[in-house]
Structure 1
Amino acid sequence: MSLNVIDLIKGQLGPALVSQAASQLGESESGVSKAISGLLPAVVGGLANNADKPGVLDAITGAASSGLLGNLLGGSSNNSLISTVLSAIFGDKVGGLVNAISSFSGVSNSSSNSLLNMVTGAALGSLGKYSADNNLGASGLTSLLNDQKGIVSSLLPAGLSLASLGLGNWGGHSAPNVETEKVRVSSYDQPKVEVNRGGNTHVNVDRNDDNGGGGSIWKWLLPLLLLGLAGWFLWKQCNKPADTTTTTTDSAAVVTDSAAVTAPVGDSAVVATTAKESTTVTLPGGKTLNAYKGGIEDQVVAFLNSDEYKNADEAALKNKWFNFDNLNFEFGTTKLTPESQVQLDNLKAILAAYPDAKVKIGAYTDKKGDDAGNKALSQKRADAVKAALGSAQVTGAEGYGEEFATVAETASDKEREADRKTSIRFTK
């Protein structure tokens, strides 16, 4: 099965980035998420329909080393790669696209434009990295993008269509009917199957008694086929396992407000799943922090207030690690991303509120790459976090590399995320 590029890019547009974008733009998280859900298939469709343009391919391959993925919020504004691609794929339709997304999602035109740049940056960065990781040449990248043409319109959320976005003439084809997409079984005296936006299916049979009975077979065969397909679909839905890890909004476009959180035990990770919701963490003295319920701030403050912490010795504390859930580095570097500062500031405030507490930093990598290189990189990242916190209460920092990684090196980048983490534990 061909790779779904939209799924590839979604990994860069998770709840942490949605939350940060909403805060920076002064919009609601639901509005930002809704805007992204419309922009993502539009941008991928634009790339797919212009995959033969050298400028588009050059921008994608150039994005692999541009650092775009490490700074999507700050680095996508006034970025020449993004501007060039948007001009190439949308031309004078950019304004109409921005207006349509603004009306659809409820965010301002200015925010819609910023999110368009951010989504385009995520698309270029993700495609560039995938192309580099899999040694795709220009022809391979063009083929990958061409494969997306058939699925883009189906991934637009309810209420949007290519025509409503002003993109109905992509690829030089006439705009499709917004209300109804018609699929002809045959051009000669065969039934027509109409599938409307609501998912209802109608079979129209052209009756022609002079056809020698050739078309009459379809009068009973096609309904039976459709009935069988409907039964199969219902069976699959009934037997589909419940998905407890993600919540989607607007027709499977962007994952919002849920995430997998890893909880290391004795320096090894046990994966747990929690739905993210905002909460207020109150510190001694009355200061409050905005955080996620069950996130590192919530967990750490609860632990510091507990008898478990007060009565624990060093041996007990050694196995109690807390993972950062909004701290990231630019790919392959020790440079912290701008959005990481929020959680670093929160942890600084917690340490200041509990002056007797002492912590150790631990950094981990996945299995991909050289063992020694991973060890060295993780040590530098642990040191970088310690330096960023700048507190005498941080008594140590250690990089464990891939020592405790559990996901195979051959797994997807998204799957290997569970092993790439930075954690803290308390010491006596």
Structure 2
Amino acid sequence: MAGLDDLFAQIPVHDIATKLGADEGEVNNAIRTLVPALVGGLQHNVTSGDIDSSTLESAVTAQGASGLLDGGVSVDQVDQAEGENIVAHIFGGNDTNQVASALADSGAGGSSLIKQLLPILAPIVLAYIGKQFAQNNATPAASGGGGGLGDILGSVLAGAGGGGGAGNNPLGNILGGVLGGLLGGKK
């Protein structure tokens, strides 16, 4: 099953940096932190039982079927307003400003850049997970269990500590601190 490296390969870093008028290296570093946080937030939602995971599975399936990843992602195809909604749902109702602030505090990059990246990345991440979900003929998760979608998200995150060449992977700190802070009090 595919992992984070495959997901990173779907993201047009150069095009995003150009669109945002930002340094490509800075954008790439932020993406390498934000994508695992998005996947981790999805996984938390599926496994925690705090939400109806069938709603999340429907959103993932719809994004997977959207065609966003067909023939390579065009940044102009990404619906950033939908991305804002996705970010809010993933992170327990917190808006992009709150999420960007929390991620910036944990070392993911500047809050302004993160705020611009999250609504672009969220639909790409959901489309990728949706494609994996469809390709693996995943079955819906039982309420509060992981099951299909939880297994896919876990598999994607399993590669977070390896590969990629980054010496010090901040994923553990971000998923532990940021997700706990953003999701902990929201039920």
Pairwise same-fold verdict (TM > 0.5): yes
Partners of 1:39 and 1:116 within 8 A in 2: yes
The corresponding residue for 2:173 is: 161
Query: What letter matches 1:86 in structure 2?
Result: V
> Take 2:80 and 2:88, find their aligned partners in 1: how far apart are those partners?
13
Is residue 139 of structure 2 the alignment partner of residue 141 of structure 1? Answer: no
Give the letter for the 1:22 counterpart: A
Read off the aligned partner of 2:39 and give its amino acid letter.
V
Once the 2 structures are TM-superposed, how far is the Cα of residue 26 of structure 1 from its aligned partner? 0.9
Query: What is the one-letter code of the residue matched to 2:23?
Result: S
The 8 Å contact of residues 47 and 89 in structure 1, kept in 2 or not, is answered as yes
Distance 1:79 1:96, change over 3 A: closer
Question: Which structure is higher in RCO with an 8 Å CA cutoff and minimum separation 6?
Answer: 2
Give the gaps of 5 or more residues in structure 1.
Answer: 174-428
Which residue matches 1:64? 64
Q: What secondary structure sits across from 2:179 in the alignment?
A: coil
CA contact (8 A) 1:57 1:141 kept: yes
2:15 maps to 20
Residue in 2 that maps onto 1:125: 127
Give the number of the structure whose residues are more often helix, by fraction. Answer: 2
Kindly tell me: are residues 22 and 147 of structure 1, through their superposed partners in 2, closer, same or farther at Cα, counting changes over 3 Å? closer
In structure 1, the residue matched to 2:165 is none
Runs of 4+ in 1 over 6 A off after TM superposition: none
What is the Cα deviation at residue 169 of structure 1? 5.0
CA RMSD across the alignment:
3.3
The runs of 5 or more residues in structure 2 that have no matched partner are 48-52, 142-147, 163-167
Structure label with greater radius of gyration? 1
Aligned residues: 165
- CA deviations on 1:159-196 (whole Å, 9 max, x unpaired) are 982378632257759xxxxxxxxxxxxxxxxxxxxxxx
CA distance in 1, matches of 2:183, 2:102: 20
Instruction: Answer 1 or 2: which has greater strand percent.
Output: 1
Question: Is the 1:6–1:41 Cα contact (8 Å) retained in structure 2?
Answer: yes
Q: Provide closer, same or farther for how the CA distance between residues 141 and 164 of structure 1 changes in structure 2, counting only shifts above 3 A.
A: closer
Give runs of aligned pairs for residues 201-350 of structure 1, distance below 5 A.
none
Deviations 1:24-83 (A, max 9, x none): 111101110111011011001001111252221111101122122254512334343x34
The alignment partner of 2:46 has SS state of coil
1:227-278 superposed Cα distances (whole Å, 9 cap, x missing partner) = xxxxxxxxxxxxxxxxxxxxxxxxxxxxxxxxxxxxxxxxxxxxxxxxxxxx
Q: CA shift at 1:129, angstroms?
A: 1.4
1:21-100 aligned at under 5 Å gives the runs 21-51=16-46, 53-70=53-70, 71-80=73-82, 82-90=83-91, 91-92=93-94, 94-100=96-102
Distance 1:169 1:129 in 2: 29
- Call closer, same or farther: CA 1:9–1:45 in 2, change over 3 Å: same
Alpha carbons of structure 1 residues 134 and 112: separation in structure 2 relative to 1, 3 Å? same
- Shift of the 170–8 alpha-carbon distance from structure 1 to 2, 3 Å rule, reads farther
Hey, what's the Cα distance between the residues in 1 that align with 2:171 and 2:86?
26
- What's the % identity of the aligned pairs? 27
